[in-house]
Amino acid sequence: MGVKLEFEGRDIISIKDFSREEIDYILKVAKGMESVAAKGSDMLKGKILATLFFEPSTRTRLSFEAAMHKLGGSTIGFAEAEIASVRKGENLADTVRTVESYVDVIALRHPLEGAARLAAEFAKIPILNGGSGAEEHPTQDLLDLYTIMKERGKLNGLKIAFVGDLRYGRTVHSLAYALSLYNIELYLVSPESLKMRREVLQTIKERIPVSETTNLEKIIPLVDVLYVTRIQKERFPDPAEYIKVKGSYKIDMKTLSNAKKDLIILHPLPRVDEIAAEVDNTPYARYFQQVWNGIVVRMALLALILGATK
Ligand code: CP
């Protein structure tokens, strides 16, 4: 008999807090949400989600809100710190202890690493980390896994490359931890100054084969999944360092001339110039399908955390 999986009332702060069995179960529930998303549901009727976003977002905030609406719940929140009482000096702990009186669950994005964990320590209701500085973005990595499963039919046995900013890009940190629970090979392609954070590398290297390189051309013919990321200009302490690596990699049809026919390209978005528009209408491009998958995965998470899947 399998171990009983418990999600009700849990925070989602780091993907490291979840086992492979739990991740597989979330992906299974997300698959079941495809048909629910198409017709709508009242599974979360009467429940309220607060989206507290202290940093810009299009996909994470709006897909959390859309997911809640599709399940019959409602949402409140703010999309910029300037209009909240933090502007008057209120701290994060007081903000979450206030908002928890109004809602059942909080999705939080904050520029500081550790902010989501701190919020969870103070809140009595679940906190869903919608991005904590350059640290982690666990709900994004679940939708990334879901997209790979859906588009390639499996995770095990794949060769996957991350390209771009592996130091400041939070999605690649969460995704690396999650993928290291599966039987995959990982290629890390970045400029020297933007290599994968050491603590992530140490953990994943104990579990899966990992190769680091600056040479994108060399790895393109080898891989099944190319996960491209934006260079996170806003997180560089020194603008001169950003100028040195700006535009390091650009995926265009020339770059892809030696790619496997069934390669898929993912990107958490937003993109700047790292994938040329000419790639968008090829079978390689799956980044807009990835956006849709954000809805069903976040529907699954909200339903599980709020105990609506029993
Ligand atoms: N992928 C992602 O986090 O996008 P947003 O910044 O638009 O939420």
Q: Which of 162, 156, 190, 185 is nearest to 175 (CA)?
A: 162
Mutation test of ligand 1: which of 51, 54, 59 has the most ligand atoms closer than 8 Å to its C-beta? 59
Q: Is 282 contained in some domain?
A: yes
Ligand 1: centre distance to CA 291 (Å): 9
Please tell me the residue having the least CA distance from ligand 1 atom 5.
57
* Residue that has been written with the tokens 């994004």 in this structure: 140
Q: Are residues 143 and 175 in the same domain?
A: yes
Ligand 1 atom 4 nearest Cα: 59
Nearest CA to ligand 1 atom 1: 268
Torsion of CA 92, 51, 303, 229, to 10 degrees: -100
Assess if residue 266 is contained within a domain. Answer: yes
Shared-domain flag, residues 130 and 143: no
By annotation, the residues acting in catalysis are: 59-60, 88, 109, 137
Domain contains 2: no
Residues 205 and 104 in one domain: no
Same domain, yes or no, for 186 and 57?
Answer: no
Are 168 and 186 found together in one domain? yes
One domain, residues 156 and 285 = yes
* Domain identity same for 296 and 238: no
User: Do 144 and 275 belong together in one domain?
Assistant: yes
Does the pLDDT at position 182 exceed 60? yes
In-domain check, residue 5: no
Identify whether 6 is part of a domain: no
The total number of structural domains in the chain stands at 2
Q: Is residue 4 part of a domain?
A: no
CB 261 within 8 A of CB 224: no
Q: Domain of 153: which CATH number?
A: 3.40.50.1370
pLDDT beyond 90 at 82: no
Could you tell me if 110 and 177 lie in one domain? no
- CA of 171 from ligand 1 middle (Å) equals 9
Residue 111 in any domain: the answer is yes
Contact 33, 148 (CB under 8 A): no
pLDDT of res. 2:
58
Contact indicator for 228, 164 with CB cutoff of 8 Å: yes
pLDDT of the residue at 110: 96
Please give the distance, rounded to the nearest whole angstrom, from the Cα atom of residue 169 to the centre of ligand 1.
11
Q: Which residues line ligand 1 (CB under 6 A)?
A: 57-60, 131, 137, 140, 268-270
What is the number of the ligand 1 atom nearest to the C-alpha of 58?
7
Predicted pLDDT at 87: 75
| Same domain for 277 and 214 | yes
> Tens digit of pLDDT for each residue in 266-301?
999 999 999 999 999 999 999 999 999 999 999 999
How far does the centroid of ligand 1 lie from the alpha carbon of residue 272, in Å? Answer: 13
Q: Are residues 196 and 106 in the same domain?
A: no
- Residue 143 tokens, joined: 């939708």
Report CA(77)–ligand 1 centroid distance (Å).
17
In a domain, 9, yes or no: no
Domain that holds residue 76: 15-136+292-305
For ligand 1, atom 3: residue with the closest CA: 60
In tens, the pLDDT along 125-178 reads 999 999 999 999 999 999 999 999 999 999 999 999 999 999 999 999 999 999
Half-sphere exposure of 266 (CA within 13 A, CB side): 30
Residues 189 and 123 reside in one and the same domain: no
